[in-house]
Structures are given as C-alpha cells and as structure tokens.
Chains A and B, each alone.
Chain A
Amino acid sequence: MRFSFLNLAKQALSAHRHWPEQWRFPEPKAEYDAIIIGAGGHGLGTAYYLAKEHGLTNIAVLEKGWLGGGNTGRNTTIIRSNYLWEESQGLYEHSVKLWENLSAELNYNVMYSPRGVMMLAHTVHDIQVFKRHVHANRLQGIDNEWLTPEQAKEFCPILNISPNMRYPILGAALQRRGGTARHDAVAWGYARAASAMGVDIIQNCEVKGIRRDPQGAVTGVETTKGFIGTKKIGVVAAGHTSVVMSMADVRMPLESYPLQALVSEPIKPIMPCVVMSNTIHAYMSQSDKGELVIGAGTDAYTSYSQTGGLHITTHTLDAICELFPNVRRLRMLRNWGGIVDVTPDRSPILSKTPVKGLYVNCGWGTGGFKATPGSANVFAHTIAKDEPHPINAAFTIDRFKTGRLIDEAAAAAVAH
C-alpha cells in the first residue's frame, strides 16, 4: 500500500490498526535467477534496482540475521561526495544524486537532510590537502568550498575556534549538499519497494557454502534453510565478505576491523550540520531525536568481535570535548561496534570475480552508508549485464594486480 494522504486518512479511520506488513516473509524457492547475500542497504538496494531497472524479479536476498541489522543499522549516516579521485567522485556523486530523490522514488521517507558536511583542518598539511580536494571537486562540478575559522563557526556556532586548543582549527572544507539520512529507513524503504516487485527477502537464513559446477561456475548456495539454486550470486556481506568469498575459494584484498560509534542523551537542537575532523578523529552530527551521533576510529587489529576497545572511543571523546566544549557534561547513552571490511587503497570493490556468476560488492571500509543508492544501482547493472557500469568500471579486484589503485587512503591523509 502506498503512503499517501488518501491512505493515511483511510487508515486513520481505523486508528492505523490495519496497515499491511511492509514486506513479505517468504520461504525460499528451489531456484532463483539471482541471489544477493546480505540484506543491508547495499544488498536490498541492489535487489531493488535489479527488479526495477533490469526486470529481474525472480531474485532473493538472503540474510543471516535481520534486514538492516549489520553496518546499515550501526553507522553514523554521513553523506558526502567530496572525494579526491575522479573515479571516487563519479561513484559518490552518483549516489548523492540518487539520495536527493530517494524518498519520492521509494515512496518512503529516508529523511535525507543535506545540512552540510564540514571537514576541519588543524595543520598546514590539512589545509593543503583540503584545498586540493576543493579544487578537484569543483573541476568535476561537485560543490565544496573553503571556509575560514570564523566562517566555520558561523556555520556551526558551537564550534570552538580558540587558538588555545591543542589542535586549533585553521579552516574547513564545506560540502553544503552533504548531510545525513535515516539509516534504518534506507534499508526498510528498499526492502519494502523490492518486496512489492516480487523480490523474496529471506531473513534468518545463513549462507553456509557456495556450490559450483565442474567448470567452476556457481550453481547455488547451501543455507541453513537448505540448498537454493541460482546462476548468479552477488555478495554484499560487508565485514564478512572474506568469509563468504572463501566458500568459493576466492581470496580477497580485505581486512575486517571493528569500527565504533556512540550517541549522547537527547538534547534540544544545537548542531545544524555534520562536523568531521580526520586529523583528531572526531565526527559528530545531531539526529532528529536530539542525540549527538559520534563516530570513532577503527581498532588497530582485525577482528569480528563487533565491540572494539574503550580507549578508541575515549580518544574520540577527548577530541569532541575540545571541539565542542559545551557538550562536555553530556552523558553517552550507548556505544557499539560494527565490522568494516577495509581494502588496501580504502576504495571499494564492485566487481566481477574469477568465478563465473559470482559478483562482489565490498571494501566500503569506514564510509559505505553514503554510497548506498549509487553502489546498489551500479552493482545491479554489473550483475544484470555481466559487465560493470562505466561508473564502477575502475573498482575491480584486478586493480590490485595491475596497480591502478584508487588511493583515497593517501588522499585522505589520515592514519586510518
């Protein structure tokens, strides 16, 4: 049922007790035209675009837990496209353009809020790097502008620009079209729209193996709900990508790390934008519920523990208290960890693999949420056409062999 004024009024007459379920809960069929492993935002979005743009509706999304329960439900929801390299700019800007119209397209309010993302510079090196980003972005038609410390404070009044800070703010790069969206709503919106087109979303169904024929092509997956046949598998398993790919004997250039985030108790609106500081490791915005949403760094070592060390969050809170002195007495409500899969160049992989019929979308590391619509859109194209979309053509696994890396790691100029 569409969300509309008419339906809202109709449902109001029965006190909203008769809204239908937003998606179906089907049992798996014996065979599908394609199977997506992982029902996070990227996986559900891939299914949605496969159905909508490529006419593939006999497909399934398999999920070990519940949909949107992994990194989609754990991230700090920052959206931006101010990357350095043209390949990245193409991919992330494609995504921002899809974000702009996503609520209308899905008939589901994903609460995309282009409130501006401001990245702080604390050293001369930061200034040089960010100015380079500003120029590189503007050459590609992507908005990004340089602000003085005073202009930064005008944009975010609670910012401390005192010269007496340990790492004083020397300026900032501002992308006004950047912002946030409601992370759960993105997964739910894609799930609802995909399910309505016939996509089976099968939760609590863990993939245990990938079956292949003697030529090596995939023929299906072994799951906790039995064998399901298919000729095409799209792996969108985030931190667990290496584990799933090893079922098809494919080694990946990935390492999985815990990444933490935390939220404060809810307060009245004090923060009109997103502020990021790569140099001193602090990321903060305010949710519509009033909680301050804070992103910390990754742990030093690989792990699947979904927790992370307390000293990592403490380090981030040190920086937050310095940047925003008036939040010092706030209590933190919750902190949690997710497992992010990191590539050597910090750019994602959206690619075919050496195995016929097996495709992989991974390596988003610490910043995959912003790319959800764009990633899903071009990955669906890759699966449907068996060749990459021009936007993701450079994001292959082969780039680690050819040396054509997309080195956002060096471009970001921070210790990741």
Chain B
Amino acid sequence: MLLIPCPHCGNRPELEFRYAGEAHIARPADPSSTSDQEWAEYLYFRSNPKGLHIERWRHVSGCARFFNCVRDTVSDRILKTYPAGQPKPDLEALVKEAGQ
C-alpha cells in the first residue's frame, strides 16, 4: 500500500485516496471545432510510461481535494505531490533531487 503525501493533509495511507488518471490533460478549449482524432486523444490515449508518471489523486476520505503526484511506475516511489492548478514540475530536476 502506498503512503501518499497529500499536499494539504500530509502522509496518509492509499486507502484514503482515489486514483484519477494521468494529470495535465486539458479538455479541448473549443469542442465544436475539435476533430474526432483530437477527442480520441483527449479521452482515451495515454502516455502510460515505464518510469515517471504525473497523475491525479483525490483525497476522498480526507480533505476531498484533487492534487497531482509524480510517481515512478517501476518502483512506485512518489517523488512529489503538488496542488492541482500548478504547472508540471521539471522531471529531470526531480530525479536529480531524489537521487541525492
């Protein structure tokens, strides 16, 4: 079970959270001019990396807020969590930091 550092509540067990998929996928700004391919990309196509993954979690049994999380999908180690709305972190810098 993961120990997830909620940016608002601190370390909590995974059972308090709900996973909510890959982060930083923006809904098309102008739906009526969006092509089928672009809708498919938005709805269904995911990067699914073997390595660092930026994902959304929701602390349903705590503060109930969404936040983003950078996790290594090979080791399941969490490198960083940050409130929703903040920009993507620099992954290379994070890896360097974690290596220290």
Residues of A within 8 A of B (CB): 240, 242-243, 251-256, 300-305, 307, 309-311, 344, 400-403
Contact = CB atoms under 8 A, between A and B. Distances in A.
Contact of A300 (B14, B36, B37, B50): B14
A197 to B, nearest CB: 34
A299 B56 CA distance: 15
B70 to A, nearest CB: 13
A310 B14 CA distance: 12
Given A253-B46, A400-B45, 10 more contacts: A242-B46, A242-B47, A242-B50, A252-B45, A252-B46, A300-B14, A303-B73, A303-B76, A311-B1, A403-B36
A240 B49 CA distance: 9
Interface of B: 1-2, 14-15, 17-19, 21-22, 36-37, 39-41, 43-50, 53, 55, 71, 73-76
A254 to B, nearest CB: 6
A304 B44 contact: no
A254 B45 CA distance: 7
B53 A302 contact: yes
A240 B45 contact: no
5 contacts: A242-B46, A242-B50, A251-B46, A305-B76, A344-B44
Majority-rule SS of B interface residues:
mixed
Contacts of A344: 43-44
A344 B39 CA distance: 14
Contacts of B75: 305
A301 B48 contact: no
Contacts of A301: 2, 19, 55, 71
A251 B47 contact: yes
Contacts of B37: 401
Contact of B44 (A300, A307, A311, A400): A400
Contacts of A304: 50, 73-74
Contacts of A240: 50
Contact of B46 (A243, A254, A309, A401): A254
B55 A302 contact: yes
Contact of A400 (B1, B43, B48): B43
A255 B46 contact: yes
A401 B76 contact: no
B98 to A, nearest CB: 17
A255 B73 CA distance: 11
Contact of B48 (A256, A401, A402): A256
A314 to B, nearest CB: 10
B50 to A, nearest CB: 5
